[in-house]
A and B are shown apart, each in its own frame.
Chain A
Amino acid sequence: MRSRTTRTFWLFVGPFAVGLLLFTYLPIAWSSYLSFFDARNTVTPTEFVGLGNYVDILTDRAFLDSIGTFTVFAAFIVPTTVVLSLVLALLVNRIRVARAFFRSVFFLPFACSYVVASLVWKMSLFSGVDSGVANTVLGWFGADPQAWVGTVDPPLYWVVLVTARLWLQLGFYMILFIAALQRIPTHLYEAAWIDGASPGWQTFRHITLPGLRGALVAVLTLNLINAYQAFDEFYNILGDSRGYPPFARPPLVYLYYTSLGSGGQDLGRGSAGAVVLALVIALVTLLSGRVLRRPT
């Protein structure tokens, strides 16, 4: 009987488990192994270098800069996303007419790839020519046209990168918040109303916000992890035929060029970088979880 249960279990779980071992556990183990070897242009290295790759990567200005830059990026984009997607959710959840229409409009960018959004942002909305959309709007207010991604000083490329990411991801988090809002029992609002709470800020502060706690933690955590893993829009908006510029470089772009770039594949160093990045993300996620769980 027991062996039959075992067989049935593995009949269901076996195919997935094999894949998970082969394409998640094996790569992590192999990569950790590579990170201690001189693995330039090879996946079966022989020369053990100890912590050499880690020392290299932790003393490389470019890598440290990208971790630092993306910590600042995360510190900006995460709260902005949380607040704006919550505002959209509250707006859409409250209106009575055309609710489905507005929900669709804000959610539609989710269907768009980061590559296509990069194209629209780089070559149309924030194109450096006077007829670009952003420059046209600036012109209405009598302001000078800007080069946007075409110049480093002032670093207006951040406006381009941040607005693209917000446009792409706000709808997704808005849907999460709407789902959570609809889970808050109506009788809580009725009770608050009977107790004389004003329907605006007081109700929001004492009923809505506590009811959203779980969703807030979810959105924050997902968003934080995603911010450190930014790649697509940075690569496509700032990269060109000469490669990637030496600023605003996401950690993943750094790892991409180090381990797979045309200038020699250093898989040992790339693996060490992946390990360090994973640890940074784990640490930041843990810290933010601590802060959130603190009683208010």
Chain B
Amino acid sequence: MMRLLRWLALIPATVLFLVPFVALGVQAWPALGDVFSYKEIPFARSLVNSTVVAVLQTVGQVVLCSLAGYGLARIPYRHAPKVLYAVVATLMVPTAVTFVPSFVVVSSLGWLSDLRGLVVPGLFSAVNVFLFRQYFLDFPVPLEEAGRLDGLSRWGVYWRVVVPNSTGFVAAIAVIDFIGSWNQFLWPLVIAQDSSTWTVQVALSSLLTAQNPRTTLLFAAATVSILPIVGVFTLLQRYLVRGVAETGLTGQ
């Protein structure tokens, strides 16, 4: 009985969750070939921009935040607890609330409509540092000690022992960062004021909020924009699930 009820709930839910994808695909299909013929917006350029931003941001975040997380977890500097406190305190500040102040800083640096303005401010994720720190606290110490005995410095141990043994966790964080970076909207909307620096989300939005958008072409462009992420999602779902589960644990 319970079993039957479960399936009676699962099947309609599945249909409801898939309908939007079907609606997108069906409307996009006739125009998929014409998607790069857009004259109103630099669509191909926006895809390139999104790719560059997402790749740089993912690599930068993972490198910077894992280094900091390792330092905070493992190096017995006497002020380390204070530094950790200063990092964790920023988690209390909602990220989107800082977009006005961050805009002020970025515009003062002259980084409006500039790749640096799109990429750099997003590199310093306190959440990532915290997750990496938690992970490195549980990293087996004997492995590191073996590296030390072989004459490696802390830096050497980090790159030759710790990182190669942490690829699963690094991949989990990287997949989440990549999807987040590709899909972000508010920050690029604020920073990329010149259409040559638009990311694909800003480009799509400019069409969606314009007068009389050409529906089929717009659906085709949207489909092209989600293909890379659906690919990442399908191939790396294992890591993604782990990353999300880890993120949730910070809240506890």
List residues of chain A with CB under 8 Å of any chain B CB.
2, 5-6, 8-13, 15-17, 19-20, 22-28, 30-31, 34, 43, 87-88, 91, 94-95, 102-125, 133, 167, 172, 175-176, 178-180, 200, 214-215, 217-219, 221-222, 225, 228-229, 231-232, 235-236, 239-241, 252, 255-256, 259-260, 267, 270-271, 273-274, 277-278, 281-282
Contact = CB atoms under 8 A, between A and B. Distances in A.
Contacts of A88: 13
A120 B23 contact: yes
A248 B192 CA distance: 26
28 contacts: A13-B67, A13-B71, A20-B124, A24-B98, A27-B98, A27-B105, A28-B98, A30-B101, A108-B230, A109-B20, A114-B183, A116-B226, A118-B208, A120-B219, A124-B24, A176-B244, A179-B241, A217-B252, A218-B251, A219-B248, A222-B248, A229-B95, A231-B185, A255-B100, A256-B99, A260-B190, A267-B100, A277-B94
A255 B104 CA distance: 13
A125 B226 contact: no
B222 interface: yes
B80 to A, nearest CB: 6
Contacts of B208: 115, 118-119, 122-123, 236
Contacts of B70: 12
Given A23-B121, A240-B209, A123 B68 contact: no
B9 A133 contact: no
Task: Decide if the interface of chain B is mainly helix, strand, loop or mixed.
Answer: helix
A260 B10 contact: no
A12 B245 contact: no
A94 B97 CA distance: 39
Contact of A109 (B17, B83, B95, B126): B17
B92 interface: yes
Nearest to B75: A9
A241 B207 CA distance: 10
With most chain B CB atoms within 10 A of its CB, the pick from A91, A113, A123 is A113
Interface stretch (B35-43, B141-149, B163-171, B210-218): B210-218
With most chain B CB atoms within 10 A of its CB, the pick from A9, A24, A228 is A24
A39 B99 CA distance: 16
Contacts of B17: 105-106, 108-109, 167
B35 to A, nearest CB: 14
With most chain B CB atoms within 10 A of its CB, the pick from A28, A30, A115, A225 is A115
B56 interface: no
B4 interface: no
Given A123-B218, A217-B252, A16 B94 contact: no
How large, as a class, is the contact surface on chain B?
A: 35 or more
A282 B92 contact: yes
Given A13-B67, A15-B64, A259-B103, A125 B76 contact: no
A106 B13 contact: yes
B190 A232 contact: no
Contact of B186 (A87, A108, A231): A231
B108 A5 contact: no
Given A16-B67, A30-B105, 11 more contacts: A2-B78, A31-B101, A102-B14, A108-B17, A112-B20, A124-B219, A167-B20, A222-B248, A231-B96, A256-B186, A260-B103
Interface string B215-236: 1001100100110011011000
A200 B24 contact: no
Interface string B148-192: 000000110010000000000000000000010011011001100
A125 B23 contact: yes
A116 B204 contact: yes
B210 to A, nearest CB: 6
B123 to A, nearest CB: 6
A4 B233 CA distance: 43
A215 B248 contact: yes
A255 B251 CA distance: 28
Given A91-B9, A115-B201, A232-B185, A12 B97 contact: no
Interface in B126-152: 126, 129
Contacts of A270: 100
Interface in B9-28: 9-10, 13-14, 16-21, 23-24, 27
Given A115-B208, A118-B208, A240-B211, A43 B104 contact: yes
Nearest to A28: B101
B165 to A, nearest CB: 17
Contact of B222 (A27, A95, A108, A116): A116
Nearest to A240: B209
Contacts of A105: 14, 17-18
Contacts of A23: 102, 105, 120-121, 123-124
